[in-house]
A and B are shown apart, each in its own frame.
Chain A
Amino acid sequence: MTWSVTELVAWQSEVEAYADRRGKFDWLEIPPIASATAIQDAYHTIARTRHPDLFVGRIEPEVMDRLVRMYSRVTAAYADLKEPERCAAYLRELRGPRAATTPPPLHGQAPLARRLGATLPPMRSEISSHRPGTPATATTARIERFAPPPPTRPAPTTAPPPSPPAPVPVPAPPPAPTPRQVPGEIDPAHAMNARALAYYRRAEGAQHTGDRAVALLHIKMAIAADPRSTFLRAALAELSRP
């Protein structure tokens, strides 16, 4: 069950290269589905194969450090997905407003989109440090120990912060959070129009059965249907690579 050091090192170099672009489901190595059992099983499988404890005394401290970091990212993804509400919110975010009309992505064992997701420029961002619905956006919380508290907020009575040398204006209301371009899983449904998507799905299916020529054909048809999709162009480039 436990991985060999060779397998571990291969995995490390693979995930480290795209660590910031991996979505939560990528970290757990499962297709995006909201099944609590599947999510827990996926995490347990990863724990059983490459939990840092399994490698104590088997790898160099530097490799261990890197392993702990990468494993911590897996755990962070699990922490979010194991809460049903958060998982549902994340899936909605991935699927976007069109989720109702378009079927959920048909991820196979090695879906093209996920493989490409790692190599493509981001099409839409997955906001990693900010979840919708939580008050803390990337720009509202402030670290500042010397400015006075804004008068509109109740000041703590026990230990008020030291008064500043000169009155400082009340901080302006936070600017609208600019979506940070943190790439993640790319849902093909957002990267092209519906007609192109139909072709893309067929290409995915063909790719899955190993029929590269058919996959190429369908990708080209998809491009014809949606010539502006960079996602499809990258997919074509990936597929045409010998």
Chain B
Amino acid sequence: MPFAVGIDLGTTNSVVAVATPTGVEFALGPLGERVHPSVVAFPPTGGVVVGTEAKARRATEPDTTVYSAKRLIGQNIKSPLVQLALTGLPFRVDEGPNQQPIIVMRDRRLTVPEVSAQVLGHLKRCAERQLGDRVTQAVITVPANFSDAQRQATKEAGRLAGLDVLRLINEPTAAALAYGFGQRKQEVVCVFDFGGGTFDVSLLVIKDEVFEVLATDGDFFLGGDDIDRAIAEFLAAEMNRHQHVDPRADNQLMTRLVLAAEEIKMHLSAASSAEGVIDGLMRGGQEVKLPFRLTRAQLEGMVRGFVDRSIELTRRALTAARLDPRDISEVVCVGGTTRVPLVRQRLAELFGREPALRINPDEVVAQGAAIQAGSLAGSLFHGRGMATRDAVPTHAMSPLAHGDVPWASAVAPARPILLDVTPAGLRIATAGGFSEEILERNLPTPIERTRTFTTARDHQTQVVIDCCRGESKRFEENELLGRLVLEGLPPRRRGDVRIDVTFRVDQDGILHVRARDADTGIEQETALEVLGAPVAA
């Protein structure tokens, strides 16, 4: 039978897993790795290389190796944050139709969903090899603060990879599901998800099978990549000082330094100082060596700002959920950055308790996605090994492939319920450059709400409804999502036409906008034309 898998499509790394009655099983890569780098390389010999093999090419072929595509997916290339992110990328990104970023690889022009589809396709192949059957359905996780366009683009990537995307779920919610499924818990938890590219924090109440998110907050541009970048800047300054070479202008040198920075960061999570020589730095055909010494205290000085920001966002989420830090009975750490001792120390200070240690921060999200995929496919059972602590070690060949998994011994399928919230306010533009909120942030989803508006000018026969995302009364200060036009209104005096605008957020967190003339019944349910999203061919 075809399988439904759970995929954690991360900024730096991805994980794919499947729920079986004996536990959640992770699909291994060709080298036996459980964690697959989200890197896609286009080697000069042609073809596409994904995963660990592609990551190895980052140092040698920086301009044809795409990484951190998740930071660009569903983004409007004109947005200032995206422009900032682009400055650090060694590969070329152009503006495509509908203001979406286009990645240029030699003679190929790829949309970001096409690149992500390569990663998803790789994960699908890994899972198929291990499970010995087709994988057709998937639950993919996204950061809780992902916008509409980002979600749509992620779904599109799944479709391009030949996957039926059963559901997009939020990463912190998936982690909470993995933490609490089948444990009959009654508690309030904080999921602190500090990944490679994004930071999310969610507060959930778990009541047996119901996982209700109370509040979520986050920063889309805050992650381990930023720490790597800070260390690389330090190394570049060192190099400039000792060897009078500025590597910042050199793509290849800088990429090498960023990769070294990542290793130094990981080393400093365990040791108090890191010392060594970075080799393989090629300059003018000659190899340059860079000796360095960095202590944990120095690193903490560099990353303090990032960590402070994450703690501040956590406090904000607590306020929104009307909770005191003492109400939290467990802190679930997700994402590699939570291994940084400073992060753990600050979390312990905030909550007065050490974060849960038995959870693997790299795998817990994929595990939750796998549980949800099994639930939606009707193949999830209360197995013994579903809990996080029991995650089964994987064999190169799955027992599922031999058919010796006791599916038959299981009884009624389990269906845990995830109740998520909207990550940001959703508003429409009104006269005078203002905006009116229709759905606030932290509202439970799926939700539908209607507000009535009117025309501002006499004999107006059409209204343009610009939709945006954010918390500001001023329209410009929010992130523009798209527009809907309602035409054929009866020409009446201003204020006489009543227009019902309905915002609906579905279970994937995707917004649907409907506008209706309350008197004539003329209705437009145009899917919002989302800026930055892929254009339907």
Name A residues whose Cβ lies closer than 8 Å to a Cβ of B: 2, 40, 43-44, 47-48, 51-54, 56-58, 68-69, 71-73, 75-76, 78-79, 82, 128-130, 136, 138-139, 141-147, 149-150, 153, 155-156, 158-161, 168, 171-172, 174-175, 180
Contact = CB atoms under 8 A, between A and B. Distances in A.
Contacts of B429: 143, 145
27 contacts: A44-B212, A51-B419, A52-B446, A53-B376, A53-B415, A56-B166, A57-B378, A69-B448, A71-B446, A76-B447, A129-B450, A129-B500, A141-B453, A142-B455, A142-B456, A143-B429, A143-B463, A143-B464, A146-B457, A155-B433, A156-B475, A159-B476, A160-B433, A171-B456, A171-B494, A171-B495, A175-B495
Contacts of A139: 452, 454, 495
Contact of A158 (B446, B454, B464, B476): B476
A75 to B, nearest CB: 4
B417 A150 contact: no
A2 B378 CA distance: 13
Contacts of B99: none
Contact of A136 (B207, B449, B451): B451
Contact of B431 (A138, A147, A175): A147
Contacts of B454: 138-139, 141-143
Contacts of B451: 129-130, 136, 138, 141
Contacts of B251: none
How large, as a class, is the contact surface on chain B? Answer: 35 or more
Nearest to B473: A135
B507 A53 contact: yes
B430 A143 contact: yes
Contacts of B50: none
B417 A53 contact: yes
A143 B499 contact: yes
A44 B210 CA distance: 7
B446 A128 contact: no
Nearest to B431: A142
Interface string B435-472: 01100000111111111111111001001111000000
B209 interface: yes
A58 B308 CA distance: 47
A202 to B, nearest CB: 39
A138 to B, nearest CB: 4
Given A51-B417, A143-B430, A156-B475, 4 more contacts: A48-B209, A129-B451, A142-B455, A149-B432
A75 B207 CA distance: 18
Task: State the majority secondary structure of interface residues on B.
Answer: strand
A71 B474 CA distance: 32
A143 B444 contact: no
Interface string B337-381: 000000000000000000000000000000000000001111000
A86 to B, nearest CB: 11
A130 B166 CA distance: 35
Interface string B168-192: 0000000000000000000000000
Nearest to B375: A53
A233 B154 CA distance: 57
Interface in B194-214: 207, 209-210, 212
Contact of A143 (B419, B428, B474): B428
B369 to A, nearest CB: 14
Which of A128, A146, A168, A174 counts the most chain B CB atoms within 10 A? A146
B495 A150 contact: no
A44 B207 contact: yes
Contact of B452 (A58, A149, A180): A180
Contact of B457 (A47, A79, A144, A175): A144
Contacts of B390: none
A174 B460 contact: no
Given A79-B443, A141-B436, A147-B456, A47 B431 contact: no
A75 B443 CA distance: 9
B296 interface: no
Given A51-B417, A156-B433, A158-B476, A143 B209 contact: no
A11 B446 CA distance: 18
Nearest to B499: A143
B417 A47 contact: yes
B504 interface: yes
